[in-house]
Every structure is written in C-alpha cells, then in structure tokens.
Amino acid sequence: MAKFIFITGGVVSSLGKGIASASIGALMESHGYRISMIKLDPYINVDPGTMSPFQHGEVYVTTDGAETDLDLGHYERFTNTKILRMNNATSGQIYYSVIQKEREGKYLGKTIQVVPHITDEIKQRITALTKKIDIVICEIGGTVGDIESLPFLEAIRQLYFEHNSDTVFVHLTLVPFIKAAGELKTKPTQHSVASLREIGIQPQILLCRTEKPLSPELKEKIALFCNVRRQAVIEAIDTPYIYEIPLIFHRQNLDKIILELIHLPSHPHPALGKWNNIVNILHNAQEKVCIGVVGKYIKLQDSYKSIYEALVHGGIANHCKVEFSRIDSEQIEKEGVENSLRNVDGVILPGGFGIRGVEGMISAIRYCRENKIPFFGICLGLQCAVIEFARNVCGLCNATSTEFSSDTTEPVICLLDEQKNITKMGGTMRLGAYPCIVEPGSIAYRAYKRKKISERHRHRWEFNMKYFNLMKQHGMKFVGLSPDRKLVEIIEIENHPFFVATQFHPEFQSKPFACHPLFAGFIKAAIHHRAKKQI
C-alpha cells in the first residue's frame, strides 16, 4: 500500500506550498522511493486555461495536453515523477464528474451530497495514483479556513482515518516578523493549526515560513501550542534560490521525520549530490548576464514562472548567474526600444494572447535582429518574429495575425481550418506534446543533437504556409517542422549569432539538473554577446 503525505497551507496564500511539496518529493526520491504528486485546487474553474495570467499566474501544460496549475511545474522540475492530467484536480472537475454520474443514474437514486459523494470522488483521484508508487504527495490548494477547500480537507481527513499509519499531515504556515515590535509572532500559526484541528486534522509537521531564524524557545512555544513534536517544527526560511530548499529541509531532518511517521526506512546517505552541485554553482558562479524578458504580463512574477526558472537553469548549465530585466512590452511602445533594451545581453519573448503590447514586442524583435542581440521567441514570440520579418524584410507592410486583425490582407499568422469553427474556449487549443523534425546544421539541431524531438504546445494560431517560400527566399530559416511538414515549429534567421523562435514551449521540459538545450544555448550566446560588448 502506498503512503500518503498531505500538505496544507495556512494564514495567507503564496507561502510556497508548491515548492515545499516539490522539495519533499525530491527528498523522498533521494531516499530511493518512487513518488507521485497531485495538486487539488478548490476553484470552480475546470482548469486554469481560461484564467488571466494576472489572476492565476502561468498555465502549466503537461505532455498529455492538460492545462494545469503552475505548481505542477515545480513538481516536474524538482523530481523525476511524470506529471499528467491526472496529477491535477479542481473543484470544477470534481463536481462536473459527480454531476455527470448522477445524470447517468450511477448513484441508483441516492441524494447526492458533499459527503460522501464529492469527498469519495476526491479520494478516488488521490488513490488512483498509488499503482507502482511508494509515496503519494498531495498538495491542497488555497488556505485553511476557506469555504471552498473544506471538501478537500474532509476527504484527506477520511483518508487518514482509513490509512492511519500510512499518512502524514504537513502544514505550511507563516511566522511573521513584526518590525515595530522587533519580534517574530506565532499567533497566526496557532490560529491556523486550531482551524485545522476543528476540521479533524492534526498536523504532525509544521513548516514555518519566516524571514528570520526561529529561536529554540520559539520552536518550543509553537510545538506546545500546536501539539507537535519540537523537532517537527521546521524552519522554512526565505532564501534567494528555491533549489536550496530541499537541502535546508534535509539539514533539519524533515525527510527522516516524514519517513519515520509513515513507517518507511530512511537511507543513511540520501542522494543529494546533484542538489549540492546546483546550489554551489548558484552561489559561486563568476560569470553574469542580464536577460530582458519582454512580455505583456510582466507585473505578476508567476505569469512567466517556467520561463524564469528555465533561464536560471541555462545559467546553471553555463556556470553563470542570470539576472532579469522585466520589460513590459507596452513600455517599449511608450519609451522606445533603445531605452528599454540598452543594458541587456539577450532578449526572450514569451507566450501570450491578444493584441495589447504586440507592437512593442515587434519593435524589440527588430532591434535584436538588426543589432545581433541574442533573441529567443516562444509561442507568441515566434508569431511576432514572423510578423516583424514579413514587414521589415519581405516588404509586407500590412503583415499581422488574424488574432489581431481578422480582415488583414497579409495574414502571415492564421487559424488552422479545424480551429475556425470552435466556439468554446477551454481546452480547445493545440495542447500537449507534438513531434517536430529538426534540420541538421541549424542552431536548434546543434542544441538538441538529434533530428526528432517532442515538445509541448499551448496555442491556437499558426504560421501561414502560404508565405513559406517568400520568407525563405528573404533569409528566414524554417528549421523545425511537423513530420507532415504542414506546421512550422522552429524558425531562425541567417547571419545572426542566436535568433531562434519556437511555436512550442520548451520551458516546460527544463530542470535545474537537466537544462533544456535551447535555454542552455541561449544563455551561452548571451555570455558571448556580453563579452564582445566589454572588449
């Protein structure tokens, strides 16, 4: 029987439950255990695919085409577990499934209630992950005390009742520092644990998020008032590098405490060498580059979470520290491109939807193309690169996307026929992993070192193949195509040190100890560009 680790959060949102869960997953793997992970989100949306990035942050896409919470990205980056559609469930999905079963008569005339029908559906989603797995790590989204999370908390309470010795509750909470008093305060943590206990859940481990170290006396106080062992009060102190968190937890014996509580043996020398190596590079790298991230959702850090992490991975792969210049593309439209990009060593343009800020993106691409600045476009970044090239190199002044102008005379980016009659928004784009054939001799081929690749997509508009020959004649290189050669996946341009754009999202497959090759190549090009500027 698989063991269960349930992770809840209290006091405030955005404490880092996803990273804490992923770090625990990494520690369990370091002891040789096979893990699976699941995020349970209390919101009513079926998935985050229709949410604004300002509301929810980035949408993480799995290989099987699910639009999921960004925390699943942390799970894949920190662990070796394969994340699929079944590793994320929302209240919307749970209720939708129960209602469908009721309409089909599968409850045999019973009155459908939150308990047991909704909670049974939640439990089924969790236990479905137990095949060939030693430990299931389950993160409950939201904050204890929220109305919408109650069915999920009740479901894991029931699982504890059914699998007592195979289950552990870990609660992430806040110990705030009150500057005026000069003290850390434990009362929010006490109230949060009290709320959990009212529901019937007693956490055995507390992860205390704090900006100041917890004194032994403070830990004793938390342990006493929250009814946990003193050694199970774990300090989750702020750190500049999230990849240090597994080591911070390990130094406090969190992994051994968890394994003891679920009655599994711990390895005397867990395999944490790769984490030590990563942290050593992050702290001691001498090289430094500044990457301009030009986008329309810059105001919220989590909107491009996987992009930022993949750039950090590129730095790790090149033993280099990566700094970011976050540039709102609308700012470029107002202030001019030279002011915005003057001090960067490379520019990345991530995905997005809608016309807002697009002209600023196109200006940034032209500046990079003409000034030989390393450029990496992703999804919308490819589409804007195509538009810029069509306008300024091919002479198609009206070139644009039908997303931005439905009656354009030069639709270099357009909808595929199968997308034109779709009326529903959720889950209807080209989603998940698709194959791509890479042209030998290209920058992309030198990065991948293989001809056939598979990458994840999340988009609706595509390159219009009617313009293929014209743009090729003017120097655009179509170095990645779908196997049937009907879809453009990767473009480059001639006589440029690094100008690469992809229709897919390579950031979703990057890990700190296995950087995506395109990000490694991009950061390497930025290092060379910086060196040339300094000569």
What are the catalytic residues?
379, 505, 507
According to DSSP, residue 106 is labeled: T
| Preceding omega of 116 cis (within 30 degrees of 0) | yes
Closest by CA position to 42, among listed 76, 86, 80, 89: 89
Residues 499, 491: Cα–Cα separation, whole Å = 8
Strands 346-349, 375-378: pairing kind: parallel
Report the amino acid identity of residue 258: I
Q: Kindly state the DSSP code that residue 111 receives in the 8-state scheme.
A: P
Structure-token match 């137990």, residue found:
130
Paired sense of beta strands 177-178 and 88-90, if any: unpaired
Who's near 494: CB < 8 A, 6+ residues apart? 475, 477
End-to-end alpha-carbon separation of the chain, Å? 63
- Asked if 384 and 358 count as a contact pair (C-beta separation under 8 A), the reply is yes
Residue ranges of E strands in 177-243: 177-178, 183-184, 205-210, 233-237
Sign for the CA dihedral angle at 373, 375, 381, 385 comes to positive
Which value, in Å, is the radius of gyration of the alpha carbons in the chain? 25
The number of residues in the chain equals: 535
d(C-alpha 393, C-alpha 105), whole Å: 62
Which three-class secondary structure state does DSSP give residue 464? coil
Alpha carbon distances (Å) from 196 to 116, 170, 184, 203, 214: 20, 11, 22, 8, 22
Sign of CA dihedral 261, 264, 268, 269: negative
Of 497, 488, 494, 498, whose CA–CA distance to 518 is shortest? 498
Report the alpha-carbon distance of residue 89 to residue 98 in Å, rounded: 13
Look up residue 132 and give its amino acid.
Answer: K
Give the whole-angstrom CA distance, residue 202 versus residue 200: 7
Enter the tokens of residue 194.
Answer: 């009290």
Residues near 450 by beta carbon (within 8 Å), at least 6 away in sequence: 438
**Side chain identity at residue 496, one-letter code:** H
Please give the single-letter amino acid code of residue 374: P
Residue 308: both structure tokens together: 């930022």
